[in-house]
Structure 1
Amino acid sequence: MVNRLIAKKINLYIELMRLDKPIGIYLLLWPTLWSLWIASGGEPNWIVVLIFYLGTIIMRSAGCVINDLADMKIDPLVDRTKNRPLAKGSLSKNEALLLFIFLIFIGFCLVLLLNRLSLYIAIFGAIITIFYPFSKRFFPAPQLFLGIAFSLGVPIAFASQTNSMPLISWIIFLCTIVWIIFYDTQYAMADKKYDLKINISSTAILFGDYERLFIFIMQLIFLGFLVAIGILQSFNFLYFLSILFSSFLLIYQVFLIKDRDPKRCIKAFKNNNLVGAIIFAGIISSYSF
């Protein structure tokens, strides 16, 4: 009986951290891996890679917990979120808060294994991560804060490898922010009617009927940044081939969101995982051949 209760509680914590839905972890991990490979010239330290892999899981989990804490009163009003542990009362606010503090502590311990510059950036990232879910109440484009928070693996990767922030790191950072903004706008399109009812902001609402055009423009900017990265790093044709394949996926996403169907918008959002993987394959290929 006791073991069953413990197992149930653990499952609730897993659900709260979205570990049962790892797509968010993958989307955060790809730009971090891009950066680790580029910063190290294609030869990253595998212990450092492991630290970043664990750090990505921890900080994404922490982001999910603080998001649900911020939204625990409005999540019950949205079909897609009404069954989350905090929304349905399966976990208490204090239990979630203790979990968040624990995750931040583990993340802090991991970043202590890196250098001081990495620590400073990580502290800034933790602050932005906490701020993001509350920005949805007063800032018209909260995806900007999400983009910054979830792109900070890029500068931390360069800081850990080079103890500096070279030009290429800023370009990858901006590229990742743009990517996150447009794929989270796709995600926000699925909740648009609910967000309007409960007065929550998003870029999907901000751009109204032009949200698909906004996404398309951001996709073009994203591709432009990817090309710039390839040119600056003198990558071979395999990298640029990966951009071409990724552009086909982005076109596919445009068609998916065409009718604003919530399920197809979520499908477009998830499709970005493949985009990140293909670009990473292109980067590895450029260092291998």
Structure 2
Amino acid sequence: MPTSSLAPSSLAMRLHNYLDLIRWSRPAGWLLLLWPTLSALWLAANGFPGWHLLLVFTAGTVLMRSAGCCVNDVADREFDRHVQRTSERPITSGRTSVKEALMVALVLTLVAFALVLTTNAKTVYWSFFAVAITVLYPYTKRFFSMPQAVLGLAFSIGIPMAFTAVRQQVPAEVWWLLAGNLFWVIAYDTEYAMVDRDDDLKIGIKTSAITLGRWDVAGIMACYALLLLCWAWGLRSYQLGWPFHLALALAVLQIGWHGWLIRTRERNRCFRAFTQNHWIGFTLFAGIAVALALR
């Protein structure tokens, strides 16, 4: 009798810990993945891609980002206890075991894979690479001076997958989109790394914020500029017209605001800049979607 009365409370606490593990209350992470993926999906389909692919890529993005959080926290559990911002994460604080976290990651990945199986063989092949790079990324912080570049690759795989799902091929413009998105990830994740730079230096983790040193702000702004240049050049053949040009202009304004926020390198301002990055992605997606809808 006492056991059954405690079970609902225990189950609710476990569910709360799992949701905390996958950052459910912080959607900015999966939005950063979603907007470039949807941009690619709209471009590949020359407009609305249909409800099936929209569901597959939206749900798949959320699921894989959540699985990535689990893997990241398992890999970083010994480091996280020494960083003020991450010391209370479920694994580090002991609220969730490593085995549980890996099981959650496996279940989420299998559900995402089931969704990909409803597309085509080429998209399925790309999904294996997506899983591999997701697992690899957390460990690159130990030996690679710019792990943000690896994260950029992981956060860009949805772009070629969107094209293979619609066209069963990867046209040349995809590589421009992928390169631009990779630079964008380096920009916003360097802002994120600036928040923890002092702690990361103490524990020996490698990040772009540490590697760039006093050139961190300049490096971030250069990466933002490369995002816009790559996308503008790569999409020139689509002739997207004024909606996309307006989106680029609005993105420039947002990037200028980010530069203003991070110029002092204060933790709170850098973190705020990171959390607002998804609006840049949304702006570019909106410009593409409106341009294609007006044709």
Report the TM-score, using the length of structure 1 for normalisation. Answer: 0.98
1:275 aligns with 2:280: yes
Q: Which residue of 2 aligns with 1:209?
A: 214
Residues 65-91 of structure 1 show CA distances to partners (whole Å, capped at 9, x for unaligned) of 000000111111111001100010001
1:31 aligns with 2:13: no
Once the 2 structures are TM-superposed, how far is the Cα of residue 99 of structure 1 from its aligned partner? Answer: 1.1
Task: Name the CA distance, whole Å, in 2 between partners of 1:115 and 1:163.
Answer: 8
Runs of 4+ in 1 over 4 A off after TM superposition: none
Task: Name the CA distance, whole Å, in 2 between partners of 1:230 and 1:251.
Answer: 23
Q: Which residue of 2 aligns with 1:12?
A: 17
Once the 2 structures are TM-superposed, how far is the Cα of residue 230 of structure 1 from its aligned partner? Answer: 3.9
Residue 71 of structure 2 aligns to which amino acid in structure 1?
A: I
Residues 140-180 of structure 1 show CA distances to partners (whole Å, capped at 9, x for unaligned) of 10011100011100010001000000011111111111111
Task: Name the CA distance, whole Å, in 1 between partners of 2:51 and 2:29.
Answer: 22
Task: Name the CA distance, whole Å, in 2 between partners of 1:191 and 1:43.
Answer: 40
Task: Name the CA distance, whole Å, in 1 between partners of 2:225 and 2:106.
Answer: 39
1:54 aligns with 2:47: no
- Which of 226, 232, 239 matches 1:227? 232
1:91 aligns with 2:96: yes
Q: Which residue of 1 aligns with 2:176?
A: 171
Asked if structure 2 preserves the Cα contact closer than 8 Å seen for 1:249 and 1:271, the reply is no
1:258 aligns with 2:267: no
- Which of 127, 131, 138 matches 2:136? 131
Q: Which residue of 2 aligns with 1:240?
A: 245
Equivalent positions of 1:34-183 (< 5 A) are 34-183=39-188
Residues 38-92 of structure 1 show CA distances to partners (whole Å, capped at 9, x for unaligned) of 0000130211100111100110001100000001111111110011000100011
Task: Name the CA distance, whole Å, in 1 between partners of 2:160 and 2:254.
Answer: 27
Superposed CA RMSD in Å reads: 0.9
Residue 200 of structure 2 aligns to which amino acid in structure 1?
A: D
Residue 75 of structure 1 aligns to which amino acid in structure 2?
A: D
Q: Secondary structure at the residue paired with 1:44?
A: coil
Task: Name the CA distance, whole Å, in 2 between partners of 1:66 and 1:150.
Answer: 15
Q: Which residue of 2 aligns with 1:288?
A: 293
Report the TM-score, using the length of structure 2 for normalisation. Answer: 0.96
Residue 185 of structure 1 aligns to which amino acid in structure 2?
A: T
Q: Which residue of 1 aligns with 2:3?
A: none
Task: Name the CA distance, whole Å, in 2 between partners of 1:68 and 1:243.
Answer: 35
Residues 167-211 of structure 1 show CA distances to partners (whole Å, capped at 9, x for unaligned) of 111111111111111110111010100110010001100011111
Task: Name the CA distance, whole Å, in 2 between partners of 1:219 and 1:23.
Answer: 18
**Which range is displaced more, 63-72 or 216-225?**
216-225
Residue 242 of structure 1 aligns to which amino acid in structure 2?
A: A
Task: Name the CA distance, whole Å, in 1 between partners of 2:154 and 2:60.
Answer: 13
Once the 2 structures are TM-superposed, how far is the Cα of residue 226 of structure 1 from its aligned partner? Answer: 2.5
**Which range is displaced more, 103-112 or 198-207?**
103-112
Task: Name the CA distance, whole Å, in 2 between partners of 1:224 and 1:172.
Answer: 10
Asked if structure 1 preserves the Cα contact closer than 8 Å seen for 2:173 and 2:235, the reply is no
Once the 2 structures are TM-superposed, how far is the Cα of residue 277 of structure 1 from its aligned partner? Answer: 1.0
Residue 124 of structure 1 aligns to which amino acid in structure 2?
A: F
